[in-house]
Structure formats: C-alpha cells, structure tokens
Amino acid sequence: MKIYTETFTIKTSRRIQVIKVTEYVEKIVEKSNINEGICHIFTPHATAAIIINEYEPRIVEDYIKWITEIFRPGGGWRHDEIDDNAHAHLASSMIGSGRILPVSKRSLVRGTWQEIMLIELDGPRERRIMVQVLGE
Ligand code: ZN
C-alpha cells in the first residue's frame, strides 16, 4: 500500500465561513498517483470542521444559520469565560474534523453535488488541511 500526504493552508476572513476546497483535494489525489484507495481530509484545529455536501449560495447561508442556531455563539457557555469561542469547539466536535472519500481510477469518487468544504467556526484565521491518500 502507498500513502501520499500533503498539507495546504486557507486564510479565512469571517468568524463563521464556508470555503470550498474540492479543487485542492482533487489535485492532491491526482498527484498521489494512487489509482484505487481512500482519501482522508483532515483539519488539525479544534475550532474548524470539514463537511461534504452541496456548495450553493443559499445552502451555504443555511449551514451558517444552522450552526449559529444550534451552537449559539455567546450562548452562556462555560468556555466563553476563557476565550469566547465555545460555540466553535462544540460545532467542531459535533460536525467533525475530517471526512473520508473513496478514490477510484485516480480520482475522488463524489456525487455531482458533493463538494468538500472547510467550515471556519472562529475566524478569521489561517487553517491547515491535511490530505492523505492511501491505496495502490
Ligand atoms: Zn477555545
């Protein structure tokens, strides 16, 4: 089995923001020269998350609305006493820091409307995304 690893960074510009990163990941999968396997996309941060779903302006607004409603920034959380970002930790822990996609014929397997997105939950910051492609 081969493993190919590459990390890239994204500068975010808002507190809660959705950024499409599909193209970055697809280029890495291509470079990996792995034909069949899996691709793990991971962000090593406690206040960011990775999702796979549709990237369309209205649903992107809905992701942000949903995160704000469920995780309530400034909602009286204990951790807000330390650094005012409890909502970001809660959302990151529930949504998840990574996702796995199949790789076949040297490319990512994904549905027409499935894009890979970084969710910034406590920006603006610089975020790292690590991509590991495993297979043959
Ligand atoms: Zn914190």
Residue 97: the pLDDT is 98
Residue 45: the pLDDT is 98
Q: Which domain holds residue 27?
A: 16-34+43-135
10 domain residue, yes or no: no
- pLDDT tens by residue, 14-72: 999 999 999 999 999 999 999 999 999 999 999 999 999 999 999 999 999 999 999 99
- List the shell of residues around ion ligand 1, using CB closer than 5 Å: 83, 85
Tokens of 113: 């409307």
8 domain residue, yes or no: no
Cβ neighbour number for residue 94 with a 10 Å cutoff? 11
57 upstream amide cis, omega within 30 of 0: no
| Threshold 0.95, pTM exceeds | yes
- The rounded Å distance from CA 86 to ligand 1 centre is 6
- The rounded Å distance from CA 120 to ligand 1 centre is 14
Q: How many domains are there within the chain?
A: 1
5 domain residue, yes or no: no
Cβ neighbour number for residue 79 with a 10 Å cutoff? 13
Residue 65: the pLDDT is 98
- The rounded Å distance from CA 68 to ligand 1 centre is 16
2 domain residue, yes or no: no
49 domain residue, yes or no: yes
Residue 53: the pLDDT is 98
Residue 20: the pLDDT is 98
CATH value at residue 53: 2.60.120.460
- pLDDT tens by residue, 94-123: 999 999 999 999 999 999 999 999 999 999
Residue 66: the pLDDT is 98
- The rounded Å distance from CA 110 to ligand 1 centre is 33
